C-alpha cells in the first residue's frame, strides 16, 4: 500500500503577531488569578457565599427544594447546578454541598441532607446517587425577596439564563458560618459566630454608626465553633477583629474524672476543623512511642456528641498527661484569622466593623429596591381598581356599550373612547364576572382600593426616609434573631491560656540520677533499687 503524502498546512505570515513570552505569561497568569479569586475561592461580603454555594442554593430554589418541600436526590441538584450555572466538575459541586449539610463544618447548615454525608472522623460522604438534600430554614433568609428585583442578575456561562450576582441575605452570613478559601496569592479564613450575638452587634451598629470594634465585641464575644471548644484571650481576639488578621488559641474541652480503678481524662470537644480520628491516632502514637507515659487505655465513645476516654495508670499524674496531650497534639491549636472577602468584586482584608457596615449598606439597598418593586405593583393594582370602581359606578352604561358592540375588540375600543379607560383597565372590566355586580363584591373593590392607596402612601414615606429604612432592617433582624437564636457552644476565656512548658509535661516524682562506670548519665526510678540484705539479696 502506498502511503499518501501529507498535505502541508498553509500559514499566512500576515496573521502571526509576535508577542513577548514574559509579558504574555504575566498577563495570562494575572487573568487566571483574578478568575480564581473572584469566581471560585473568596466569598462576597454581602451574602457570605462563594459562587458555588450561591449557585447550589439558587438551583435548589428554582427546583422548589425549600425547607418545607420533600427531599430530592443530590445527583439531581448537582446536575442542575452543572448544567445551568457552574461549569466545573461534579465532584467540586457535590463536595461543596456536602460541607453545607455538615453540622461540624457549618455553624448553621444551609442544606438538610438524608443519607451519609460524612463524619468528623474524615469519613467521606456516600455517592450523590445515594443521598438526598433540600434547603434548610435559614437558607430561606438568604434568598428572601429574591423575586422582587432586590439584586442584580447576570447571564450564566452559556448565556441561556440568568443567575443572581449576590443574594438579598437578611442575615450577615459571612460571620455566621465563616469560610475557608485558598485563591492564587491570597487566602481567607473566617471563623463561625453565634447568630444572636452577630445580630445584636448589627443592631447596635445601625443605631451607633461610630461604634468601634471594641464596642461591637461587647456583643460578639468571639468565635462560636459548631463543635464547641474553648477560645482564649480577649486581647488577641480584639486584634484579629480590628485588623482582620491574628491568631487565637483554641482548645478542646477535657476533664479529669476519678473512677474506682483510677483516673480518666474525658475529652468532650475538639478544636474546629480537627479530625477526631486523627487526634485519637496521634495520642495512641505518643503512647506507642513511649513519649506519653501513664496511659493504659484509649477509646472513642462518641455518639452524636464527642467523648474520647483516656484511661490512666495508677502511677500517672493526670494533669501532666493532659498537659502533654495539649502540647503535642491538635487538642490545642491556633485559629489564624485572615478575614478576606470580595467588596464590589475586589478582595479586601476586613475588620469586624467593616463586615457589618457593608452588610447594613447591602440591606438598605435591598429594602429600598423591594419597596420600589412593591410600589410599582401597588400602583398597577390601584390603576386597575380605579377603573373597576368607575365601571361599577356606571355599570348600566358599561353593559349597554358592551351589548351594542359586535365583538370584544369593538367593545374594548368603545369603552376606552367613552370613559377614557386605559387598555389595562378595559381588559380587566371586560373580564369582570357578573358576581362583581353584587353589593359585597363592590364593597370589596372599594376596600382593596383604600388598602392599596394607604400602602402606596406608606411606601413612599419609607423610601423618603433613611431612618425608616433602618427601622425596617432592625425589625427584620430582630424577627430572625427570635426565630433562629441558640446557645453559644464555644466557651470564651478572656485571659491568656497558661503556656504549657516542658516542665509541665514532666511527671512530678522521685528520680535517681545514675552515673555509670562507662561514663553515661541516666535517670531511673528509685523503686528499681532497694537495700541489699544478708546473703547479698537485693540490688
Q: Which sequence positions are flagged as catalytic?
A: 130
CA 151 vs CA 28, 59, 147, 159: distances in Å: 31, 17, 9, 18
Whether the CB-CB separation of 252 and 271 falls below 8 Å is answered with yes
Torsion sign over Cα 419, 421, 427, 429: negative
**Gap between the Cα atoms of 475 and 469, Å rounded:** 10
**Gap between the Cα atoms of 533 and 538, Å rounded:** 6
C-alpha cell at 270: 475538639
Coil, strand, or helix at residue 430? Answer: helix
Crossing angle of helices 408-419 and 423-430, rounded to 10°:
130
CA 217 vs CA 107, 125, 349, 353, 494: distances in Å: 19, 37, 18, 10, 12
**Gap between the Cα atoms of 507 and 377, Å rounded:** 76
* String of DSSP letters for 318-358: HHHHHHHHHHHSTTEEEEEEE-EEEETTEEEE--HHHHHHH
**Gap between the Cα atoms of 185 and 459, Å rounded:** 47
Amino acid at each position: 500500500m502506498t502511503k499518501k503524502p501529507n498535505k502541508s498546512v498553509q500559514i499566512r505570515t500576515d496573521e502571526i503577531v509576535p508577542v513577548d513570552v514574559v509579558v504574555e505569561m504575566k498577563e495570562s497568569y494575572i487573568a487566571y488569578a483574578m478568575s480564581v479569586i473572584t469566581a471560585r475561592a473568596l466569598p462576597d461580603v454581602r451574602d457570605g457565599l462563594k459562587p458555588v454555594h450561591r449557585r447550589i442554593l439558587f438551583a435548589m430554589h428554582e427546583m422548589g427544594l425549600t425547607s418545607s418541600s420533600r427531599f430530592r436526590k443530590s445527583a439531581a441538584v448537582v446536575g442542575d447546578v452543572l448544567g445551568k450555572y457552574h461549569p466545573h466538575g461534579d465532584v467540586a459541586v457535590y463536595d461543596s454541598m456536602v460541607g453545607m449539610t455538615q453540622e461540624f463544618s457549618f455553624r448553621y447548615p444551609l442544606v438538610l441532607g438524608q443519607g451519609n454525608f460524612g463524619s468528623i472522623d474524615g469519613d467521606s460522604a456516600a455517592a450523590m446517587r445515594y443521598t438526598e438534600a433540600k434547603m434548610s430554614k435559614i437558607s430561606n433568609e438568604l434568598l428572601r425577596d429574591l423575586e422582587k428585583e432586590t439584586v442584580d442578575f447576570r447571564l450564566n456561562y452559556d448565556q441561556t439564563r440568568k443567575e443572581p450576582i449576590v443574594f438579598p441575605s437578611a442575615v450577615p452570613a459571612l460571620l455566621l458560618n465563616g469560610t475557608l478559601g485558598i485563591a492564587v496569592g491570597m487566602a481567607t479564613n473566617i471563623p463561625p459566630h453565634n447568630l444572636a450575638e452577630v445580630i445584636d452587634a448589627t443592631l447596635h451598629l445601625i443605631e451607633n454608626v461610630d461604634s468601634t470594634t471594641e464596642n461591637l465585641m461587647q456583643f460578639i464575644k468571639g468565635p462560636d465553633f459548631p463543635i464547641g471548644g474553648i477560645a482564649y484571650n480577649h486581647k488577641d481576639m480584639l486584634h484579629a477583629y480590628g485588623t482582620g488578621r491574628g491568631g487565637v488559641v483554641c482548645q478542646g474541652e477535657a476533664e479529669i474524672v476519678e473512677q474506682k480503678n483510677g483516673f480518666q481524662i474525658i475529652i468532650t470537644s475538639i478544636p474546629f476543623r480537627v479530625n477526631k480520628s486523627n487526634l485519637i491516632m496521634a495520642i495512641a502514637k505518643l503512647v506507642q512511642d513511649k513519649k506519653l507515659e501513664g496511659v493504659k487505655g484509649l477509646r472513642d465513645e462518641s455518639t452524636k456528641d464527642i467523648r474520647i476516654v483516656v484511661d490512666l495508670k495508677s502511677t500517672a499524674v493526670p494533669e501532666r498527661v493532659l498537659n502533654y496531650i495539649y502540647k503535642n497534639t491538635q487538642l490545642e491549636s491556633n485559629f489564624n484569622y485572615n478575614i478576606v472577602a470580595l467588596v464590589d468584586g475586589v478582595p479586601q482584608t476586613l475588620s469586624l466593623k467593616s463586615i457589618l457596615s457593608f452588610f447594613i449598606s447591602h440591606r438598605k439597598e435591598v429594602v429600598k429596591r423591594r419597596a420600589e418593586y412593591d410600589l410599582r405593583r401597588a400602583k398597577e393594582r390601584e390603576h386597575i381598581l380605579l377603573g373597576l370602581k368607575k365601571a361599577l359606578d356606571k355599570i348600566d352604561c358599561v353593559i349597554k356599550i358592551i351589548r351594542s358592540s359586535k365583538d370584544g375588540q369593538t367593545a374594548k375600543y368603545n369603552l376606552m373612547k367613552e370613559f377614557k379607560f386605559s387598555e389595562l383597565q378595559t381588559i380587566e372590566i371586560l373580564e369582570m364576572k357578573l358576581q362583581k355586580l353584587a353589593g359585597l363584591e363592590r364593597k370589596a373593590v372599594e376596600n382593596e382600593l383604600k388598602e392599596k392607596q394607604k400602602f402606596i402612601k406608606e411606601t413612599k414615606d419609607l423610601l423618603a426616609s433613611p431612618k425608616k429604612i433602618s427601622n425596617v432592617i432592625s425589625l427584620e433582624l430582630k424577627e430572625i434573631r427570635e426565630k433562629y437564636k441558640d446557645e453559644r457552644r464555644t466557651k470564651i476565656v478572656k485571659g491568656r491560656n497558661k503556656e504549657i512548658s516542658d516542665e509541665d509535661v514532666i511527671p512530678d516524682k522521685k528520680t535517681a540520677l545514675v552515673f555509670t562506670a562507662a561514663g553515661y548519665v541516666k535517670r531511673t526510678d528509685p523503686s528499681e533499687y532497694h537495700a541489699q540484705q544478708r546473703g547479698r539479696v537485693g540490688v
